[in-house]
Amino acid sequence: METRELAACMANGSITFMDRDDAMGEIPWCQHPKFKGVYLKHILKGKDTGGMLSCHMVKIDPDAILEEHIHENQWELHEIMEGEGKFILESRETPYHPGRMGIIPRGANHKVIAGKSGLVLLAKFFPALI
């Protein structure tokens, strides 16, 4: 499966809970409240997990930046599905591409810079971000 197919499958797939299935294609993409060219699809929220975790698709436009920020109370896991770019965790820079994961401890400065093709990733938070 091509990575572009994986990101599209996830964005339009479904999620199974104990009592229901939700269609992720019905969940809208939202502009990030702080960062231009960054879009979020909140596919799993804390209300569904007792606040234990949340999962969000993050789409970053070509050459856009998810600027440096910190999550004081959450660990974060990035799973890259499509595109390329770079990840900066504190002072360490790492290439981002499909198959790469990034683990961000609570309280750590981090940012993501999309390359020329943009970037799509899953961001999972423990405990839930929202």
3-state helix, strand, coil in the chain (%, to 5): 10, 50, 35
Report pLDDT for 75: 98
Report pLDDT for 2: 60
Report pLDDT for 5: 84
Q: List strand residue ranges (DSSP E) for 35-100, in order.
A: 38-44, 54-60, 65-69, 75-89, 92-96
pLDDT digit string, tens, across residues 96-111 = 999 999 999 999 999 9
Domain regions of the chain by residue span = 3-12+30-126
CATH of domain 3-12+30-126: 2.60.120.10
Positions of the chain with pLDDT under 70: 1-4
Report pLDDT for 3: 58
Report pLDDT for 20: 95
% pLDDT > 70, the chain: 97
Which residues make Cβ contacts (< 8 Å) with residue 100, sequence separation at least 6?
78, 80, 87, 94
